[in-house]
Amino acid sequence: EVKRSGRNGWQFFTPTMQIVSEKRHQLSNKLAAAIINNEFTVYYQPIIDLNTNRISKCEALVRWVRNGKQIATDEFIALAEETGRINEIDRFVLATATDFVANLTERFNYPLELSVNVSPRIFSCKDDSLNKWLELITNASRKINVTVEMTERLLIEESERIMWVLTKLKAIGVTIAIDDFGTGYSSLSYLTKFPIDIIKIDQSFIRQLGQQTIPESLTEAMIGLCHKLSLDVVAEGIETPEQLSMLKLWQCDFGQGYYFDRPLDAEVFSERIRTQSEAKFSHNK
Ligand code: C2E
Ligand code: MG
Ligand code: MG
Ligand code: MG
């Protein structure tokens, strides 16, 4: 690699940087083809109501399988954001998950809500792309209850356009959640400025519960703050019973994480809902 970089006269790239950049370039081309070739699927992770222990929502998470190999979601999402492909992916996920959840709700007579991620890019792209997404969301919320998850770093930038979109979403009946709460660079004042309903506490806090006192104090205080502001709280990344019992003690509203379920493919998730709906049935008798 060193020789080749010498011959090619690369000046700014070190050999590793060159490999990384070539890999990214290749992946970026494959990403474009992946949309056309239907290489994306959607997985669903249960979100549990901690008061009733039932699945009340599912988060739709995109998966990319290429030649039998799964590509890390964080990795290709970041790339798709840079290249602008993310909007197409988000529309695919939204449309697929809406049909799926609407179908499950009907089939098992089970009230299930959908939570989808949206890239901050949608707010800064052309009207056309934003309108397509808004149209899909509008159609979705006619059939099911939809939550849109967005990261907090969005809410420090371009606030006028974002305010317009959020107000529109609220008018349609969409629930708005802040994802990865506590990790972004932001002030707390946005919590009251924008029409937010739900806070998802980032898994980096939850992971440390039962191990370190500072993240414990922070998590407890975040839940308290949210409740004072009438926001619901979801804890992300719950993996142990100890983490869960602390969160329940602090009256956290919802939980999500490997302790309950990993993200599941459509078939396995459907089974999960079937079992839950039967549990509900026998309980009511
Ligand atoms: P996120 O929205 O914060 O989603 C939660 C991530 O945490 C998921 O990773 C999930 O698999 C993982 N997770 C859930 N429970 C646990 C746990 O107990 N332990 C650990 N270690 N991890 C857990 P995933 O599916 O790899 O997605 C990564 C990120 O990619 C998401 O983070 C989200 O920001 C983004 N993403 C995923 N799907 C989409 C999509 O359709 N559109 C957009 N724009 N972004 C997406
Ligand atoms: Mg999310
Ligand atoms: Mg998150
Ligand atoms: Mg995340």
Ligand 1, atom 31, lies closest to the CA of 74
Mutate to test the pocket of ligand 1, among 41, 70, 77 (most ligand atoms within 8 A of CB): 77
Q: In a structure prediction context, what are the per-residue pLDDT tens digits for the chain, which is 285 residues long?
A: 343 444 444 455 566 777 777 777 788 888 888 988 889 999 999 999 999 999 999 999 999 998 888 999 999 999 999 888 899 999 999 999 999 999 999 999 999 999 999 998 888 777 788 999 999 999 999 999 999 999 887 777 657 888 999 999 999 999 999 999 988 766 788 888 899 999 999 999 999 999 989 999 999 999 999 999 999 999 999 999 999 999 999 999 999 999 999 999 999 999 999 999 988 655 544
Cβ-in-10-Å burial (0-12, 13-18, 19+) of 188 comes to exposed
Which atom of ligand 1 is closest in space to residue 86's alpha carbon? Answer: 44
Q: What angle do CA 277, 150, 274 make, to 5 degrees?
A: 10
Tell me how far the alpha carbon of residue 25 lies from the centroid of ligand 2, in angstroms: 26
Beta-strand runs (E) in 124-259: 146-151, 175-181, 198-201, 232-235, 254-255
- Can you tell me whether residue 135 is helix, strand or coil? helix
Q: Evaluate whether 79 touches 28 at the Cβ level (below 8 Å).
A: yes
Q: Indicate which atom in ligand 1 lies nearest the CA of residue 151.
A: 34
Atom of ligand 1 nearest to the CA of 202: 3
What pLDDT is stored for residue 232 in this prediction? 98
CA of 91 to the centre of ligand 2 (A): 15
Ligand 1, atom 36: nearest CA belongs to which residue? 61
Amino acid 143 reads K
Burial of 231 per CB tally in 10 Å (0-12, 13-18, 19+): buried
Q: Is the ipTM of this complex over 0.95?
A: yes
Residue nearest to atom 15 of ligand 1 (CA): 257
State in Å, rounded, how far the first CA of the chain is from the last one. Answer: 70
Residue of 59, 63, 73, 198 best suited for mutating to test ligand 1, as the one with most atoms within 8 Å of CB: 73
pLDDT at 4: 45
Task: Give the pLDDT confidence score for residue 36 in this predicted structure.
Answer: 84
- pLDDT computed for residue 174 by the predictor: 98
Tokens 């739709």 found at: 60
Tell me whether residue 174 is exposed, middle or buried, using C-beta atoms within 10 angstroms of its C-beta: 0 to 12, 13 to 18, 19 or more: buried
- Distance (Å) from CA 61 to ligand 1 centroid: 6
Q: How far apart are CA 150 and CA 119, in angstroms?
A: 7
Position 127 scores a pLDDT of 76
State the distance from the centre of ligand 3 to the C-alpha of 200, rounded, in angstroms.
Answer: 7
Q: Are 168 and 134 in contact (CB under 8 A)?
A: yes
Interatomic CA distance for residues 145 and 143, integer angstroms: 7
Residue (of 213, 262, 270) closest to 238 by Cα position = 262
Question: Is there a contact between 50 and 247 (Cβ–Cβ < 8 Å)?
Answer: yes
Q: Residue 281 C-alpha to ligand 1 middle, in angstroms?
A: 32
d(CA 269, CA 41): 13
Find the residues whose C-beta lies inside 6 A of ligand 1: 45, 61-62, 73-74, 77, 86, 89-90, 93, 117-119, 149, 179-180, 203, 236-239, 256-258, 263
As a residue count, the chain comes to 285
